Amino acid sequence: MTPEQWLHDATRGLPRAVVTRVQTETLAHLQEAGLGEGDDITALLGPPATTRKALGRLYVSAAELDVLGRDRVDGWLLSLVMLGVLAVGLLFQGAWTGDPHLPTLGGVAAGLGLLALTAAWTHHWRPEQRRQMRANMGLYGIVLFQIVLPALSNLPLGLLESVSLCLWGGLFLTGLIAAQHSAQKLRRTLALEGARA
């Protein structure tokens, strides 16, 4: 596989700035190794799919960057709507069963508070980073209401509640780790795009 073919396969779907950097560094490496444009470089660099996966762990894709860069309603509004729908559903459930679900509705209010704090915190960020963080924190605000307030209001917990708390807690922590990883990928990508991340 020639360097041109290999680089095309290895960088497919990545933003232009990432492609340019990978091409520049790879061609310099090949030149140092004494390989030319017509040489097969697969033995030296390995399969391009492996490199593409590794680059995908470091940088956001061109499609993701395009979505985050669009001038549209921030992701936190979607989270706000989801919290509102959830609150209305809980009110109807409370009216139907006679249980007001006040702790859960308090959790929805906590999720709204988290959205408000995130909106204020990210106000001066780059639009791509702001959209990403607001969408993530809004969704995790929805998960948060399932963990803290019900657990605090129902102590001591039974077996089912304890299992549920562990599952929601694991989901929440996994989501936070994934959000942090996504934020790092976006920062790296924006840095290559010539933006101040």
Measured CA to CA, the distance from residue 136 to residue 95 in angstroms comes to: 31
What is the predicted pLDDT for the residue at 197? 44
Residue 167 CA from chain centroid, whole number? 20
- Structure token digits, residue 164: 């549920």
| Closest of 131, 130, 128, 134 to residue 115, by C-alpha | 134
Give the C-alpha distances (Å, rounded to integers) separating 139 from 34, 155, 162, 181, 195.
51, 26, 22, 16, 27
The DSSP line for 177-193 is: HHHHHHHHHHHHHHHHT
| Closest of 195, 188, 55, 70 to residue 135, by C-alpha | 70
**Per-residue pLDDT of the chain in tens (197 residues, 90 and over written 9):** 888 899 999 999 999 999 999 999 998 988 888 877 778 888 888 899 999 999 999 999 998 888 877 755 555 566 666 666 666 666 666 666 666 555 566 666 666 777 677 777 777 888 788 777 776 766 666 666 656 555 556 666 677 767 777 777 787 788 778 888 888 999 899 988 875 44
What is the predicted pLDDT for the residue at 1? 85
What is the predicted pLDDT for the residue at 51? 93
